Amino acid sequence: MAKTPKLTPETLKVLNAFLEDPELERYGYELMKATGLKSGTLYPILLRLEDAGWIESDWAATEESDTGRPRRRYYQITSSGQKEAVDAFREYERELASLKQLRPGWKGA
Amino acid sequence: MLEVLIPLFISIVSGIIVKEINAHDWGSALAVKIIDHVVIGRLPEAWRFRLKEEWLAEIENIPSDFQKVRYALSLIAGAGRIQRNYQPATDQEMMDSTEKWTGGQVDDKAFFESIAAWVEQRETSSNLKIRRMFDVIAVIIVLSATFRAFITYNAHDIYLFFAWLLGLLGLILSYIRWCARIR
């Protein structure tokens, strides 16, 4: 069974970008712009999410004229990934709410 | 004499550096070098095929030269993180996954040759002879300016010091572009 990825704030940013339009296939640089993360932060997260089965990826279809060129890789959230991501956000909200109960005046960072 | 030579050297060297910086492919060349020599070596063996091709494709699509270099530099730390997170798979899993990432193109040599052929084709299509001629002239001028600035170096003379620094930077940039071309 795939390991559940560590849900850091950066991972949540990536999941949020995917959840904005789950049908959309996105490439690395596009995700960097959407999340504001650096490449060195983004790719380990993508690989962890892919390893867990939350997202999947595939090479872009190439035309004959592009033979030999490096191919772009596209990422898309899976249906199980969508469910897990939504659950992760709910869990995050619950934790935030419990923190607020501990310190009623606290409004967060 | 020196009063004439110093501004001349500075303007020549600055001009060459501006030319190098404005050359359309220095960012790609440097980013590819960083990925080739620093990043890929830090990755687990099983990920190299896939990530190298993916990152080279991304570099082609990043608009600014400085962003390309930033992208590649950030990947150095990223490769370290990937290495730390990596859990070795069984031999069969590795074979299956490598085949999946490379689309069946598991021959390392063939893969890199196809990428090299693409780079070569791109170079040929962009007035290679003229660019090479200008680069040779640029290197000769930068070398002589650097040498001149170096032998007359005086710690109290800030202009000479900057001429030397600029000359050195120009040489480094020329070298990077030259290396990228002969890959």
Interface predicted TM-score (ipTM): 0.84
Q: Give, in order, the Cα–Cα distances in Å from B118 to each of A109, B19, B121, B133.
A: 49, 25, 5, 22
Residue with tokens 């990825």: A5
Closest C-alpha to B179, from B146, B139, B142: B139
What gap in Å lies between CA B6 and CA B169, rounded to an integer?
17
Q: Distance between alpha carbon A70 and the CA centroid of its chain, in Å?
A: 24
Residues in B touching A40 (Cβ below 8 Å): 74-79, 81
Higher pLDDT, B89 or A64: A64
Q: Determine, for residues B85 and A42 on separate chains, whether the beta-carbon distance falls below 8 Å.
A: no
The pair of three-digit structure tokens given for residue A21, joined into one six-digit string: 């339009």
Q: Determine, for residues B61 and A29 on separate chains, whether the beta-carbon distance falls below 8 Å.
A: yes
Q: Determine, for residues A44 and B56 on separate chains, whether the beta-carbon distance falls below 8 Å.
A: no
Per-residue pLDDT at B158: 63
Of residues A27, A43, A73, nearest to B82 (C-beta): A43
Per-residue pLDDT at B49: 87
Per-residue pLDDT at A73: 93
Q: Which of A69, A72, A74, A75 to mutate to test the interface with B (most CBs of B within 10 A)?
A: A69
Q: Give, in order, the Cα–Cα distances in Å from B173 to each of B26, B63, B80, B138, B150.
A: 8, 19, 27, 11, 18
B154 in reach of chain A (CB within 8 A): no
Q: Determine, for residues B115 and A41 on separate chains, whether the beta-carbon distance falls below 8 Å.
A: no
Higher pLDDT, B64 or B88: B64
Q: Determine, for residues A43 and B75 on separate chains, whether the beta-carbon distance falls below 8 Å.
A: yes
What gap in Å lies between CA B66 and CA B20, rounded to an integer?
13
Of residues B58, B74, B76, nearest to A27 (C-beta): B58
CA distance B136 to chain A (A): 29
Q: Which of A35, A43, A63, A64 to mutate to test the interface with B (most CBs of B within 10 A)?
A: A43
DSSP conformational letter for A74: E
Per-residue pLDDT at B126: 47
Residue A19's pLDDT band (cuts 50, 70, 90): very high
Residues in B touching A48 (Cβ below 8 Å): 85
Per-residue pLDDT at A13: 92
Q: Determine, for residues B85 and A73 on separate chains, whether the beta-carbon distance falls below 8 Å.
A: no
Q: Determine, for residues B51 and A70 on separate chains, whether the beta-carbon distance falls below 8 Å.
A: no
Per-residue pLDDT at A25: 93
The pair of three-digit structure tokens given for residue A85, joined into one six-digit string: 């991501």
A vs B, Cβ pairs < 8 A, gives 74
B17 in reach of chain A (CB within 8 A): no
Per-residue pLDDT at A43: 95
Task: Summarize pLDDT for B130-177 with one digit per residue, the tens.
Answer: 566 666 666 676 666 666 666 665 555 666 666 667 767 777 776 676
Contacts of B24 (CB under 8 A, 6+ apart): B65
Q: Determine, for residues A72 and B57 on separate chains, whether the beta-carbon distance falls below 8 Å.
A: yes
Which of A31-45, A74-88, B18-32, B57-71 has the weakest average pLDDT?
B18-32
Q: Determine, for residues B61 and A72 on separate chains, whether the beta-carbon distance falls below 8 Å.
A: yes
Are the C-beta atoms of residues B49 and B8 closer than 8 Å to each other?
A: no
Residue B63's pLDDT band (cuts 50, 70, 90): confident
What gap in Å lies between CA B159 and CA B166, rounded to an integer?
10
Q: How confident is the prediction for chain A on average, in pLDDT?
A: 86
Task: Summarize pLDDT for B79-127 with one digit per residue, the tens.
Answer: 999 988 876 655 555 555 555 555 555 455 665 666 666 655 555 554 5
Residue A92's pLDDT band (cuts 50, 70, 90): confident
Residue B16's pLDDT band (cuts 50, 70, 90): confident
Per-residue pLDDT at B183: 44
